[in-house]
């Protein structure tokens, strides 16, 4: 901080991302995009801001996300707006609002962008964070559950995440799940006194989450708790078996976790999470599942769906030791000022118009500092336009990798760079 000035700082839990981190960022996004393309998914861009109703109805008013983690404010007309805490609800709203289900029987989308949750920040847990994700609309087929999981698996390998586990579960459909929840609630009610305070509240608000509690006395009750797999209907059971069959076929290893319960109410049947032990408490870097009633909840024609979202910052943390090629400029010009600089500027303009990346320091400095700068800019070539070169109309081109240099006439410079870079 400069003395006498006052610091304007960023709000907690948001990040500035400088160029040295952008190479890794782009590598992750490009890897994801190329996998999306290989599965024939197409990009959709939806607003980061929606009417609060979109998330309240979509995600569920009793969830942690909606009840305490949303950035919500009023517009000037007094309508309640919210910065999106996740991507699916907005995509579903757009799908329904534009009547997309009338066009194609199956729609496959991917998206990426910032999400916002008012949580207490921690490493790998930000208030503004970025996700990419995908959604499929229009099919009950378990093939698509597999396709989504397979796609996340491919992206994870492609970006170089060393060790991760895929947890999968089925939480049933509308009918069998509610039957299960009644049984679950009965079981825990009879053990009400052994539950921690949080769980006594969960018993009313979100009984599925009882299975998630790490409190010792609560988790010991889990052993004898009714398990969802004993309650799901034949349809859900068959669906889950088929998903696993596809995963086996694709040689994709997974771990069944009968207690995997996700914090969004819209899921049905398949849920999954990609987890790692390298992110502390933030162990999931991707997650998703099926949501067969969400579209009709938004007033659309009943249309099933399945999707996932992955956290870009968390993925970056997982691969931060992995070297990424840093892109530098093609040519850094070295000059001695005056006419030498004027010739350089003219040549730079020509090369740039031909798509060759050039840079130069306009100040007159020693060769030593200019070469240092060329090094730092990761230049492929250093081109010297000094007094001798202006006289002979030949540039001295130094290959920064080999250290070799040669004379190249001004008019042949662009061809030389193009052919050798």
Partner RNA sequence: GUGACUGUAGUUCAAUGGCAGAGCUCUGGAUUGUGGUUCCAGCCGUUGCGGGUUCGAGUCCCGUCAGUCACCCCA
Cβ-contact 390, 328 below 8 angstroms? no
Quote the least distance from Cβ 96 to RNA, whole Å: 21
Quote the least distance from Cβ 238 to RNA, whole Å: 26
Q: Which is nearer to RNA, 139 or 206 (CB)?
A: 206
Q: The tokens 């509610």 sit on which residue?
A: 178
Quote the least distance from Cβ 18 to RNA, whole Å: 11
Quote the least distance from Cβ 77 to RNA, whole Å: 27
Cβ neighbourhood burial of 158 (10 Å; 0-12, 13-18, 19+): middle
Nearest to 267 by CA among 131, 173, 179, 144: 173
The DSSP-derived string for 318-374 is HTTTS--PPP--SEEEEE-STHHHHHHHHHHHHHHHTT--EEE--S---HHHHHHHH
- Beta-strand ranges (E) seen in 76-162 are 80-83, 107-116, 128-137
Q: Is 60 left (phi over 0), alpha (psi -120 to 50) or beta?
A: left
Cβ-contact 92, 99 below 8 angstroms? no
Quote the least distance from Cβ 263 to RNA, whole Å: 1
3 state DSSP class of 379? coil
Q: Which is nearer to RNA, 247 or 379 (CB)?
A: 379
Quote the least distance from Cβ 203 to RNA, whole Å: 12
Quote the least distance from Cβ 67 to RNA, whole Å: 10
How many helices (H) and strands (E) in the chain?
A: 15, 16
Q: Which is nearer to RNA, 119 or 235 (CB)?
A: 119
Residue 388 CB partners (closer than 8 Å, separation 6+) = none
Q: Which is nearer to RNA, 52 or 405 (CB)?
A: 405
Q: Which is nearer to RNA, 245 or 375 (CB)?
A: 375
Q: Which is nearer to RNA, 101 or 177 (CB)?
A: 177
Q: Which is nearer to RNA, 115 or 232 (CB)?
A: 115
Quote the least distance from Cβ 156 to RNA, whole Å: 11
Q: Which is nearer to RNA, 235 or 329 (CB)?
A: 329
Phi–psi pair at 110, nearest 5 degrees: -130, 160
Residue 414: C-alpha distances to residues 348, 349, 359, 395, 410 (Å)? 10, 11, 14, 11, 8
């Amino acid at each position: 901080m400069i003395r006498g000035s006052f610091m304007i700082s960023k709000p907690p839990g948001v990040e500035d991302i400088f160029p040295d981190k952008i190479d890794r960022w782009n590598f992750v996004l490009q890897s994801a995009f190329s996998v999306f393309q290989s599965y024939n998914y197409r990009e959709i861009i939806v607003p980061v801001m929606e009417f609060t109703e979109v998330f309240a109805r979509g995600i569920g008013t009793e969830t942690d996300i909606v009840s305490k983690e949303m950035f919500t404010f009023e517009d000037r007309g007094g309508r309640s707006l919210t910065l999106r805490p996740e991507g699916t609800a907005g995509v579903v709203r757009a799908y329904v609002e534009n009547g997309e289900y009338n066009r194609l029987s199956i729609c496959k989308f991917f998206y990426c962008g910032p999400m916002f949750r008012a949580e207490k920040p921690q490493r790998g847990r930000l208030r503004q964070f970025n996700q990419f994700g995908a959604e499929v609309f229009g099919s009950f087929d378990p093939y698509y559950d597999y396709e989504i999981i397979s796609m996340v698996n491919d992206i994870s390998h492609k970006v170089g995440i060393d060790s991760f586990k895929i947890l999968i579960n089925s939480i049933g459909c509308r009918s069998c799940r509610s039957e299960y929840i009644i049984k679950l609630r009965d079981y825990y009610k009879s053990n009400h006194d052994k539950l921690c305070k949080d769980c006594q509240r969960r018993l009313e608000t979100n009984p599925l989450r009882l299975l998630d509690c790490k409190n010792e006395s609560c988790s010991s009750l889990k052993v004898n708790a009714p398990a969802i797999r004993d309650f799901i209907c034949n349809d859900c059971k068959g669906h889950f078996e088929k998903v696993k069959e596809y995963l086996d076929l694709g040689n994709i290893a997974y771990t069944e976790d009968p207690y995997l319960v996700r914090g969004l109410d819209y899921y049905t049947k398949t849920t999954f999470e990609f987890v790692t032990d390298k992110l502390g408490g933030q162990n999931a870097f991707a997650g998703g599942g099926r949501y067969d009633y969400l579209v009709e909840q938004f007033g659309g024609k009943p249309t099933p769906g399945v999707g996932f979202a992955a956290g870009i910052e968390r993925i970056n943390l997982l691969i931060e030791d992995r070297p990424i090629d840093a892109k530098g400029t093609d040519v850094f010009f070295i000059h001695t000022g005056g006419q030498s600089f004027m010739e350089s500027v003219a040549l730079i303009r020509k090369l740039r118009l031909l798509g060759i990346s050039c840079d130069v320091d306009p100040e007159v400095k020693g060769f030593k500092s200019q070469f240092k700068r060329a090094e730092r800019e990761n230049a492929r070539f250093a081109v010297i336009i000094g007094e001798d070169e202006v006289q002979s109309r030949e540039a001295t081109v130094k290959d920064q990798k080999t250290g070799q240099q040669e004379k190249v006439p001004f008019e042949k410079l662009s061809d030389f760079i193009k052919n050798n870079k």
